Amino acid sequence: MAPRRRLGSVSLDAIGAGVVVLTMIGEFHHRETRDLERALGEALGGGYSHVVADMRQVRLFGAASLRALVKGALRARERDIGFAIVRPDRDVWDAFELTGLDAQLTHSGSVEAALAAITRAG
């Protein structure tokens, strides 16, 4: 029997004064993008100074989800909110490199390093 696919889920966890971690797990197809957009809206409208999008457990990230994440990063920049990504595995991260987003978005290998990068920049 084939392993069951794990559809994407998103959670928000405040980890300190003004800092929220948006954790993504599983596969993000078109349908899961709505949950991602909703969570990004909560994170960016919740009075936080810094948002870290933890993608370490993402196994598939479709174009619609990638677009939603980039729009979230742009909104964060407009609102002067620090925004960083914790990189997913190589197969998923390839899309960021192929599109040049790796050079446009702050990213790191851990939540701590991503937070340090955006607090230094701000």
- Spans of all domains in the chain: 9-121
pLDDT at 119: 85
Tens-digit pLDDT profile for residues 109-121: 999 999 999 987 6
pLDDT in the model for residue 121: 63
Model-level pTM? 0.91
Cβ-Cβ contacts under 8 Å for 21 (sequence gap 6 or more): 12, 13, 15, 51, 52, 53, 54, 111
Q: What is the pLDDT of residue 4?
A: 53
The domain covering 9-121 belongs, at the CATH homologous superfamily level, to: STAS domain (3.30.750.24)
The values of phi and psi at residue 53, to 5°, are -95, 105
- pLDDT reading at 82 higher than 80: yes
Contact in structure between 23 and 13 (CB atoms under 8 Å): yes
pLDDT digits (tens, 9 = 90+) for 83-110: 999 999 999 999 999 999 999 999 999 9
CA distance 51 to 110: 13
Q: Is the pLDDT of residue 122 over 60?
A: no
Are 121 and 114 a contacting pair, CB within 8 Å? no
pLDDT per residue over 11-53, tens digit each?
Answer: 999 998 899 999 999 999 988 999 999 999 999 999 999 999 9
